[in-house]
Amino acid sequence: MMQKNNAASLPQPNCTGETYRRDRRIALVIFLTLWLSYAYFSHGGSWGANAYLDLTRAVVEEKTFRIDAYVWNTGDWSKVGDHYYINKNPGASFLAAPIYFLYHLFDKNAFNDFVSARIAIHLITAFSFSLLAALAGSVFFLWLRRFAAVGPAIGTAAIFGVGTSQFSNASFFNAAIVVSSFYILAAFMLDRTRDSELTSARAGIYTFLSGLCLGLAVVAEPISVFGIVIFAAFMIMQRRKIHIWLKFILGGIAPAIALVIYNIRVIGKPFGTVYEFQNPVFSYDGAFLDVFRYPSLDILYRITFHPIRGLFWVTPVLALSIFGIISLWRQEKTRQLGMLCASMILFYFLFNISFVAWHGGWYVGPRYLTPALPFFVAPLIFAFQRSGWLSQLAVSLATLSAAIQLTIVAVNPFCPQLPAITNPLFQYTWPNFFSNMLSINNASAFPRMPRHVSRIFSLESFEEWWAAYNLGEVLGLQGVLSLLPLILAWMLAGLVLYKIATEP
């Protein structure tokens, strides 16, 4: 006979079988809505996105980690001996590789012409990064439901999905979306193991999978190892038993082995990173490990309140997060959650203000805070559970945040004039948006001939016009009108969610 899990049960609102079934239906609607939202956009190239695409192609087409045949489209490379590799961990490329492998079985010439390449890039992105992010968004809702009512949980999940830079990150090759998504999956599954109705076997599976997710986050970004440390501290506070720790560690072994094998094949040793061999343009004299320096208060200001990169400019609703963390701390059943959120936020702030490339290139907003976004957003649940002016303020700021993020993803998540301009929203994103200039990143991931990807080309040819697009434009709609199908889909999803959430 299967034994029940002996861990302390986490209080949950209205924990009935019908409630669970309703929550699953809501999670499915959220998943489908977010997947459509993310796959609706296909962006042009950038050094980082192109590098990950290059490794994906190298793995599938040539069965190698070397990007020698593709390196001309990116500056994000490391040179080891006579060969080029991407200057990043390979996790994002590995995520896309199975999708491209299947696609390559049917179309081995996908990158031989521009149209085929654009279709391939869009589909690979949609079925890897967009799909993972949509799954994480739906699980984020289920995680929130463990300590909040259904309405506030839906609203907070919606903010996370389309009101933060999770929106734009989910529609191009990048590692940050992989890390934030796996953090959510790990957090939910670790919390799930505390439910008394789970059998020991199922609790063990959840624990194993949480370790696996955190291991995969490290394969995507090496700095995520400190995320594992924070999660481990979280488990210590919960006084997890030794068999839980063993299953958690076992889950992380496979990703660790994969990363060791990759390092041996690329840099010739099991431990280390390709950063020590990266493009000299990223080297900084005197920096620790060539990438870290003393934390800077000036950078802290620039990634929070300054319009050039400020988090609270592109996602103003997150200004309420600190009050949410305080609220979580005051309640005993959510205190540990508050500590987890605060710890992850503080770590990524510290990392960002100490990293020599803190600006994140041309990215609109603080690129390196993206993995911490779930922990910024989760505390906002407190505002949506209140009545009166606070909830009204939260709804207003959330609506503004979603509108800002929609304009960013619709125009271009990358602002090529940075840092020459000091306010990307007022000087680049909104002027283009209100001039009906959408999808303007014409730096292609697949140019017609080798050329510098960061150069901005004129919109004179078919290839350069369609280097970026949205599905509304494919249907023949132009400018802001091209967003109409997506907005109608959001309205329909809202009605469906309201109907399900208010069922007796």
Q: Is the pLDDT of residue 465 over 90?
A: no
| 75-78 CB contacts, 8 Å cutoff, 24+ apart | 75/47, 75/279, 75/281, 75/453, 75/454, 76/47, 76/48, 76/50, 76/51, 76/278, 76/279, 77/51, 77/278, 77/279, 78/274, 78/275, 78/276, 78/277, 78/278, 78/279
- Residue range 178-187: mean pLDDT, rounded: 97
Q: Is the pLDDT of residue 460 over 70?
A: no
Q: Which of 388, 429, 396 is nearest to 410 (CA)?
A: 429
Q: Is the pLDDT of residue 1 over 50?
A: no
CA 289 from centroid of its chain's CA atoms: 26
Q: 175 with 94: CB under 8 angstroms?
A: no
Q: 47 with 454: CB under 8 angstroms?
A: yes
Range name among 117-131, 221-235, 408-422 with the lowest pLDDT average? 408-422
**C-alpha–C-alpha distance, residues 418 and 310, integer Å:** 13
**C-alpha–C-alpha distance, residues 383 and 133, integer Å:** 24
Q: 181 with 132: CB under 8 angstroms?
A: yes
Q: 351: how many CB neighbours lie within 10 A of its CB?
A: 18
- At residue 207, the pLDDT reads 93
Of residues 305 and 463, more confidence is placed in 305
**What is the tens place of the pLDDT at every residue in 401-412?**
999 999 999 999
**What is the tens place of the pLDDT at every residue in 78-103?**
999 999 999 999 999 999 999 999 99
**C-alpha–C-alpha distance, residues 354 and 297, integer Å:** 10
The residue type found at 266 is V
Q: 437 with 463: CB under 8 angstroms?
A: no
- Residue 449's pLDDT band (boundaries 50, 70, 90)? very low
- At residue 289, the pLDDT reads 65
- At residue 459, the pLDDT reads 47
Report the chain's mean pLDDT, rounded to a whole number: 89
- At residue 290, the pLDDT reads 67
Q: What residue segments make up the domains of the chain, in order of their start? A: 17-501
Alpha-carbon distances of 239 from 204, 253, 315, 319, 466, rounded to whole Å? 16, 22, 36, 33, 54
- At residue 453, the pLDDT reads 38
- At residue 321, the pLDDT reads 94
- At residue 433, the pLDDT reads 94
Question: Rounded to the nearest 10 degrees, how much is the dihedral formed by the CA atoms of 376, 403, 178, 157?
Answer: 60
Of residues 316 and 3, more confidence is placed in 316
**What is the tens place of the pLDDT at every residue in 17-64?**
678 899 999 999 999 999 999 999 999 888 899 999 999 999 999 999
**What is the tens place of the pLDDT at every residue in 273-303?**
888 888 887 777 666 666 788 899 999 999 9
Percent of the chain with pLDDT over 70: 91
Range name among 327-336, 407-416, 471-480 with the lowest pLDDT average? 327-336
